[in-house]
Amino acid sequence: MDTRESAALVLARMALADGTIDPTEREFLAEFCREVGVGAGVDTLIETAGGRSLEELVGAVRGYEDRFFIALRAYLMARVDASFDVSEERLFGDLVAALEIRPDDRRLIERTHRQLEAEEPGAPDPRIMELYRASSFFVGEDA
């Protein structure tokens, strides 16, 4: 399994965390798959993710930058339906631990979500751009 498929499966697992997959979560997952070129359908990803451990889903992801972006997207997935219940919070904590996300970067993830929810979001934190450019998710002139 490659990094992009791992990321899609983690997002599917996050959508499953509270026991209900909201239409906004399905669309978020579908959009992510289109964006990164994962061809598996949403239902297939959800079925696969439900049968695997978190460690198995992230085990192949090596670079810190990729791990960070998987955590960021998973957090955004957990919040996309305007609900962040205890099961999602617990899974996110487990994910952060499995991905070995630094405490300052976890706070950056949470700040980024708040900023995206703001009426006027503003420019992304320079650390986000630094991590993005070094990740395998980067699409740009340097890719």
Q: Are 32 and 73 in contact (CB under 8 A)?
A: yes
User: For residue range 45-60, what is the model confidence (pLDDT) as tens digits?
Assistant: 999 998 899 999 998 8
How many helical (H) and strand (E) elements, i.e. helices and strands, does the chain have? 8, 0
Q: What is the mean pLDDT of the chain?
A: 90
Closest to 59 (Cα-Cα) out of 107, 11, 138, 5 = 5
**What percent of the chain lies above the pLDDT cut of 90?**
64
The domain defined by 3-134 folds into TerB-like (1.10.3680)
**pLDDT recorded at residue 100:** 96
Lowest mean pLDDT among 31-35, 69-73, 79-83: 79-83
pLDDT band at 141 (very low <50, low <70, confident <90, very high): low
Average pLDDT, stretch 29-47?
89
Q: Where are the domains of the chain?
A: 3-134
pLDDT band at 143 (very low <50, low <70, confident <90, very high): very low
Q: Mention every residue, 6+ apart, whose C-beta is less than 8 A from residue 122.
A: 115
The C-alpha angle 2, 143, 101, rounded to 5 degrees, equals: 55
Average pLDDT, stretch 66-73?
96
CA distance 27 to 15: 11
